[in-house]
Amino acid sequence: GMKVLVAVKRVVDYNVRVRVKADGSGVETSNVKMSMNPFDEIAVEEAVRWKEAGLATEVVVVSVGVRAAQEQLRQALALGADRGVLVEAGEVLEPLEVARVLAVLVEREGPRVVILGKQAIDDDANQTGQMLAGLLGWGQGTFASKVVFEGDEVEVVREVDGGLETVRLKLPAVITTDLRLNEPRYASLPNIMKAKRKPLEVVGLEELGVEVVRHREVEGVFEPPRRKGGVKVGSVAELVARLRDEAKVI
Amino acid sequence: MKVLVLGEHDGERLAKATRHAVAAARRLEAGPVEVLIAGGGGSGAVAEEAAGLEGVARVLHAEDACYEGGLAENLALLLARCMRDGGYGHLVAAASTFGKNVLPRVAALLGVGMVSEVQAIEGPDRFVRPIYAGNVLERVRMLDEVKVLTVRATAFDAVASGGEAAPVERIEGAGDAGLSRHVGLERSESERPELTAARVVVSGGRGLGSKENFERLIFGLADRLGAAVGASRAAVDAGFVPNDCQVGQTGKVVAPELYVAVGISGAIQHLAGMKDSKVIVAINKDEEAPIFEVADYGLVADLNEAVPELIEALGKE
């Protein structure tokens, strides 16, 4: 049967208005609501649907990060994943390092598909899935809005700038999700209770034999320049006049 | 060291995004800028077009059927070889879906980190980029010897076609990785200007209510202004327009001279894609809508009355 590996990330909830720390060293994350990255929820949903359709036999959900990311793994288990693995790291790792960790897990678990979100809404990098595919030497179906398995191949419809592109990949393959792939379900209370008894393994980076390398140094974060407050106009005629005479854009 | 720019094209024409990427590559001041064009038969014309760009010192052209459709698996092998053997310190592409698909894979093959969506270059290794949907900017220094970056097209003015054409050198391909096949592209057809390159953008949101209303009012206003048509995610999800019209964090980032938001509340997700526009106009019946916080000119009105009136008024201009 087909085993599926899903990677999820713990991020600041998308409804939170983030604040830059006073010293500019980063973004305030203490006492802030944390959630599963929205694109990863779509990845979990898709994998669970494959299982429900009889395409996947086991869905293993993985997170690389701080110990508290177990919450997001439990959530994925409540949504239908079978088993969780947390690779505990003391800090947030860069995409290439996360990809290296995932590649080691892929060696250990032997999935036929790895599915991830196309990007995390904190670092907005959009790199990890492509990097993992590169490290593994697998095909990649990024920004997927439709996925169809056919024998030893998978057909992926991708959301690209000019429209929709279809590619065919040999399995095993890496897929990253775009927003329109599916609509994730909510976890029911019984499933949340059941998820507490599902296996959740915690391993350290050293157990996996991964030594973290740094590729970047964040010198500081800051708020973008604010737009000046504008004016409210009273009528369409005034709007047209201001666009013509004041802003000179029409 | 030299800078290599990955050229983007559809087999016939160079994408405008590449002109912006070349501008960013020059801004690095890290050495001569070269462009790689990989494509199938007939891509020679694209290589010639790239050779005519201002500031391009040389074009490498790899012609092979395996590069048709721009598959990341095949392009990454070629790019990694070029980077290893060619004496390049930087690899640059536009942060289009094409660039975002290919470059991280190359970085992984080279074992180096990568910086995405660069919006300012402060030195050959120091970059500013948006995080948290553009609500925060970060300044990063890349530590690897080879720097791989995608750049926001709207942050760098496109280079023009220059005087004397640079030499075009044919290079061998790196072979088909045998992992993927391009099946087809279903293009969203449009007579209007391209969204990311347009001087004026008219965007509609859920407030339009229906596909018919969206087409009548937003297309009507866009045609009057010679504008491209954009949309909020809600309008795309409601099926008013195809998803490649979506402006926002998960769609396209635009920075036109004039952005007109009609029936769009202004969620963070959407603002991330348009808040760098020069002049923003918002038409919304909810005066508390967050879009008014970024709008230079706001009109609190029912769009079903205001937009036809605006179309008519512009007709008289």
B113 pLDDT above the threshold of 80: yes
If asked whether residues B10 and B157 sit together in one domain, one would say: yes
- Specify if B182 maps to a domain: no
Instruction: Give the mean pLDDT of B224-230.
Output: 96
Answer yes or no: is B148 a known binding residue: no
- The whole-number pLDDT of residue A220 equals 96
Give the other-Cβ count within 10 Å of A107's Cβ.
10
Note whether A12 contacts B279, CB cutoff 8 Å.
no
- Specify if B179 maps to a domain: no
B249 pLDDT above the threshold of 80: yes
Nearest CB among B108, B258, B294 relative to A135 is that of B108
- The whole-number pLDDT of residue B117 equals 96
Residue where a domain terminates, one of B150, B170, B190:
B170
Rg (CA), chain A: 21
Instruction: Give the mean pLDDT of B45-69.
Output: 97
- Specify if B194 maps to a domain: no
- The whole-number pLDDT of residue B37 equals 98
| Residues in B touching A240 (Cβ below 8 Å) | 310, 313-314, 317
If asked whether residues B132 and B30 sit together in one domain, one would say: yes
Q: What is the mean pLDDT of chain B?
A: 96
Question: For residue A87, what is the enclosing H or E element?
Answer: strand A83-88
d(CA B138, CA A25): 9
- Specify if B270 maps to a domain: yes
- Specify if B183 maps to a domain: no
Task: Give the ipTM of the model, two decimals please.
Answer: 0.96
Q: How confident is the model at residue B316 (pLDDT cuts 50, 70, 90)?
A: confident
A45 part of contact set with chain B, CB < 8 Å: no
Q: How confident is the model at residue B54 (pLDDT cuts 50, 70, 90)?
A: very high
Which residue of B lies nearest to A236 if distances are taken between CA atoms?
Answer: B310
B317 pLDDT above the threshold of 80: no
B8 pLDDT above the threshold of 90: yes
- The whole-number pLDDT of residue B244 equals 85
Residue where a domain terminates, one of B170, B192, B212:
B170
Q: Which of residues 24-53 of B touch A (CB under 8 A)?
A: none
CATH of the domain at B233: 3.40.50.1220
Boundaries of every domain in chain A: 2-246
Q: Say if pTM beats, i.e. exceeds, 0.90.
A: yes
Nearest CB among B181, B196, B314 relative to A168 is that of B181
If asked whether residues B125 and B15 sit together in one domain, one would say: yes
- The whole-number pLDDT of residue B274 equals 95
SS3 B255: coil
Counting residues of chain B whose pLDDT is more than 70, the rounded percentage is: 100
Q: Which residue has 């999700």 as its token pair?
A: A177
Total structural domains in chain B? Answer: 2
| Residues in B touching A231 (Cβ below 8 Å) | 296-298
Beta strands in chain B (DSSP E): 2-6, 33-39, 56-63, 88-94, 114-118, 120-123, 126-131, 136-142, 147-151, 168-170, 180-187, 200-204, 228-231, 258-262, 279-284, 297-300
- Specify if B181 maps to a domain: no
- The whole-number pLDDT of residue A14 equals 86
> How would you class B193 by CB atoms within 10 Å of its CB: exposed for 0-12, middle for 13-18, buried for 19 or more?
middle
User: What phi and psi, each to the nearest 5 degrees, are found at residue A122?
Assistant: -95, -60
Residue where a domain terminates, one of B170, B186, B215:
B170
Contact B154, B276 (CB under 8 A): yes
Q: How confident is the model at residue B45 (pLDDT cuts 50, 70, 90)?
A: very high
Interface test with A, best of B71, B142, B185 (most A CBs within 10 A): B185
If asked whether residues B41 and B92 sit together in one domain, one would say: yes
CATH architecture of the domain A2-246 equals 3-Layer(aba) Sandwich (3.40)
If asked whether residues B221 and B165 sit together in one domain, one would say: no
pLDDT lower than 50: segments of chain A: none
At A214-235, the pLDDT tens digits run 999 999 999 998 887 799 999 9
Q: How confident is the model at residue B194 (pLDDT cuts 50, 70, 90)?
A: confident
Question: For residue B310, what is the enclosing H or E element?
Answer: helix B303-316
- Tokens standing for residue A167: 């590619």
If asked whether residues B104 and B251 sit together in one domain, one would say: no
Note whether A121 contacts B133, CB cutoff 8 Å.
yes
Residue B284 structural domain = 200-315
Answer yes or no: is B264 a known binding residue: yes
Q: Which of residues 55-114 of A touch B (CB under 8 A)?
A: 94-96, 99
User: What phi and psi, each to the nearest 5 degrees, are found at residue A167?
Assistant: -125, 155
CATH of the domain at B39: 3.40.50.620
- Specify if B186 maps to a domain: no
